[in-house]
Structure 1
């Protein structure tokens, strides 16, 4: 199993056909368990997480372990209707592996298969994780003490496919790779009324418009120009008809920052602006933040430097230092608790991540497998 490129493609295409949303990955988990059961079991222990039933933990016993190395692969898909006409397209209407998690799983399975047949020096723990795109399966697993006892992890690794990076390229950087993300929901409550008598009302649309306008000053005037942050309100609902002043408006948005301190600063300023708008327009402005486990993905310096050195000495791959991305990843939560690193795998798709036409190049599967196996073997040789 997984000895040929065709094996990788077959597994990836099957996974691609059965995408499932966060915490609903029953068919995916069942398929993964079937494949894991076919591997040599001499060094393996397979566990589940009671409050995360689709999660799978696999421990590989090392020969002379100095540490336990964790490797994470996420399994959920996105609510996207696939536009590709390929024969192995999604069989679940309105759901698609538009973020490449089918690639992540296939590579992790192949790496696990290798070490199930070639006992590693150090212990390995493979974490097949549900609910990365929402619900933060990483945080749930950690809080449920999944990485304790025999499954305690000393360092964690993961990869993510990158649509605009050529096949054969591995991208990485020391420090922040992905931004942290926080959901923002704002409810503006006022007094409705007739459009012809605005003095009797408290117009929430005017208040919401002022709020959105003033929020734009946070990045421009409260954040270091050499740093990077984002606030986007992508949804605003208010009113029912043109000649009635609305009494409620709802805004939904996202905050993104390259470090947690910046995110906290943005949240504080946003709340201060909300308080000011409430006073100015005599409305109530209720702000709720939800970050969950989507902390910045911060690559540990020593580990990442060693990984980059390994790549630069490896003639089979081409390393490129990538800039931080404003996309979010709940692997950041695990890295806030356990040192480790995430890197990009180039898959050169004609369409971007999270789009209906995302179509990664399957030649990248072999590159990913060889890179991860090679790195883990080298890491095991290090003190």
Structure 2
């Protein structure tokens, strides 16, 4: 059986090879190589695209308990100066999925040697950062054959110290949607603006209008966010822009508010088309369902951690972050929790450096909980 230091090394190996969604070929190969080094008598492995389903057969199975670990990285240039920094230029495990995988492999290693009564299903899911792997995985024959009775997952939390976890019953993460708006007008010489339809002006006007959507269409007691993080348009300083593109994100605490926000955005875009005599196309890209924790299971898990470990359990507030694990919780009872990793820099930051001591904390906690649930 491996030691905590060996799982830290596994995390470092994986940290070197981050890959974007559905391109996790090296990652999948690494995971497979490790899993195939374990005793195979009670282990079943099935590939799906760049992900994996891994089943440990229980001794007297009455149910199946699933654990999900996401495996993709982000298109961020790492700036940690760590000796095991990313070897893939412009890519980084800046959301902690290297931690998530190392923890899952640690659990499998321990539980394949000393099995519990119930079946265990480990889901190594690609493309969490986009375009989304959870929803299509739910529809696979492999998932249907090994359909779980409950599912759990964690996410590292740089803001919490090692030795803490944080979660809550009900809503944990928001509904999220990407937002892309392309505007096409009529370009021309900067000296003859009256002969053009300037998409820089149209884009700026639309951004200003979008800021009214939340304040004037969403219940003040609800919460929602529209952020436009990128605007592109034009070619050079003396040509009026024929095209412009807005890129952003929408976050809401309820599916109903997401519908309201999108309807209002579509109305404003139609108004922009009419007012600026242009064509507009909206693309919502990846859309993630809210992470909504099963109340009874979450409460049971929090009490279990408080009573059976030295971990500090925090009841946190809901967050506007997004996670496609919400699609799994929509279909299967379960929960997600934050794992404290104590990093000066936060998620999706080029200098994110979580404390590796949290890996053993998570393996110990989840293994104890699975043995409690699977007896």
Q: Same fold (TM over 0.5)?
A: yes
Cross-structure match for 1:85: 81
2:369 is matched with: 375
Distance 1:66 1:35 in 2: 28
Q: Is the 8 A contact 2:22 2:127 kept in 1?
A: yes
Q: Which residue of 1 aligns with 2:335?
A: 341
Cα distance in 2 for partners of 1:156, 1:336 equals 11
Q: Between Structure 1 and Structure 2, how many residues are aligned?
A: 375
Do residues 138 (structure 1) and 134 (structure 2) align?
yes
- Correspondence list, 1:191-230, <5 A: 191-230=186-225
TM-superposed deviation, 1:118 = 1.4
Gapped runs of 5+ residues in structure 2? Answer: none
Deviation, structure 1 residue 379: 2.2
Q: SS of the residue aligned with 1:148?
A: helix
Partner of 1:6: 5
Alpha-carbon separation, structure 2, partners of 1:204 and 1:95: 33
Give, in whole Å, the separation in 2 of the partners of 1:290 and 1:28.
Answer: 25
Partner of 2:262, secondary structure, is helix
Aligned partner of 2:159 among 147, 159, 164: 164
- Structure 1 spans left out of the alignment, 5+ residues: none
1:181 aligned partner:
176
What secondary structure does 1:298 align onto?
Answer: strand
Q: Write out aligned runs for 1:1-383 (5 A).
A: 1-2=1-2, 4-49=3-48, 52=49, 54-149=50-145, 151-292=146-287, 294-381=288-375
Shift of 1:38: 2.1
CA distance in 1, matches of 2:76, 2:175: 23
Q: Compute the TM-score of the two structures, normalised by the length of structure 1.
A: 0.93
Q: 1:26 to 1:65 in 2, by over 3 A?
A: same
How far 1:46 sits from its partner (Å)? 1.2
Alignment partners' CA distance in 1, 2:88 and 2:185: 43
CA contact (8 A) 2:131 2:286 kept: no
Matched residue SS, 1:147 = helix
Aligned residue for 1:146, secondary structure, equals: helix
**Distance in 2 between residues matched to 1:115 and 1:37, nearest whole Å:** 15
Q: Give the structure-2-normalised TM-score.
A: 0.95
Q: Measure the CA separation in 1 of the matches of 2:131 and 2:272.
A: 31
d(CA) in 1 for partners of 2:91, 2:289: 26
Task: Give the whole-Å Cα distance in 1 for the aligned partners of 2:309 and 2:136.
Answer: 39
Output the CA distance in 2 between the equivalents of 1:245 and 1:37: 60
